[in-house]
Amino acid sequence: MSVQKSSGDAADALAAGDRVEAAGRRPRHARQRRFPAVGDAGQARLAAARVLIVGLGATGGAVADLLARAGIGLTLVDRDYVEITNLQRQTLFAMADLDQPKAEAARRRLAAIDPELPLEVRIADLHAGNAVALGRGHDLIVDGTDNFAARFVINDAALSLGIPWVYCGAVGASGAAMAFGAQGRPCLRCLHPDPPEPGSHDTCETAGVLQPAVAMVAGLAAMEALRILLGEALPPAALQYVDAWARAYPRLAVAARADCPSCALGLLPALQPEGEGDALATVLCGRDAVQVRPPSAALDLAALAERLEPACEVELANGFIVRFRADGLVTTVFADGRAIIQGLDDGGRARGHYARWIGL
């Protein structure tokens, strides 16, 4: 498994993790090391590991907090920015983080907890074209996304890289988590042969979400991540379900499918590229908004704000995002060229709006 490190690397990581204790204080992870499955050797493995967390909302942010406190280096990937409705359940963020990219706000919070923790940030939208590159060099991927399209991309990217990943999600008072091993069988597509149809399942917008359910699911996911990184054998594949309100915790066994196009046939359908030159428009469920992601772009946000100001109302320009109001729509633009356009649910209209105000 890719989490294995040389004894020299492990010793170096252990020493690095204890440098902050030189003043005679107890080591940061002393209580964790006392757990028999961790110990000094296990803590060295955790310090040497690198985990990619995709999505830093409710579950992803909670898992990031748990793994960071365990001493695990993280790469934080998120496409969105902090809104006030996030604060009820997304525990990495506070009022001071409003309108900041979630990945950057999360980095600041985790760095304040452990200043020596290796942290990298990618303010980006994970998709078929960048998922393998984002995952490369990591020992594990954790899903903190809120949609099955992204989860299928993570599934196929993990299979392509030969690394394990952990799925988790919560809505209402329930949620689920499952670990997929590096061997890749079964995989998410064995559990869900096809992505659910849009509108066929509840979302946080339609059913709400209670933070205790998020915390329970995130705890399960983080524990699975620790088991994997410590080299523990995974139990038989099963989806762990949590209904916190009903106090029900069933497990669903998952069997590998002989005809699975991802893990059995190796076709990895979620990684097939989109049509070249097309801007991808994604309707964001429950938000009355569309994300437009051009195939390749890097924007000078200061120049964009200056160019927009004479023609429309620029509401915010903070170095990370530019937000402007035009044609009755509110558009938030990121440095990688993506834009979230609020006030519509039509991809074609969103691409036209993008082309008119930002350019394709």
> Any idea which residues carry the catalytic annotation?
204
Beta strands, E only, the chain: 50-54, 73-78, 119-123, 140-143, 165-171, 174-180, 238-243, 251-253, 280-284, 289-293, 313-317, 321-326, 329-334, 339-342
Decide: 171 and 203 in contact? Cβ < 8 Å.
Answer: yes
Distances (CA, A) of 168 to 93, 165, 222: 20, 10, 10
CA distance 9 to 189: 35
CA distance 285 to 110: 29
Number of C-beta neighbours around residue 78 at 10 A: 28
CA distance 287 to 206: 10
CA distance 275 to 293: 13
Coil, helix or strand for 24?
A: coil
Question: Which residue do the tokens 């924007």 mark?
Answer: 299
Length of the chain: 360
CA angle 356, 359, 360 (to 5 degrees): 120
User: Which helix (H) or strand (E) is 47 found in, with range?
Assistant: helix 39-48
CA angle 108, 113, 117 (to 5 degrees): 80
Tokens of 84: 């006030």
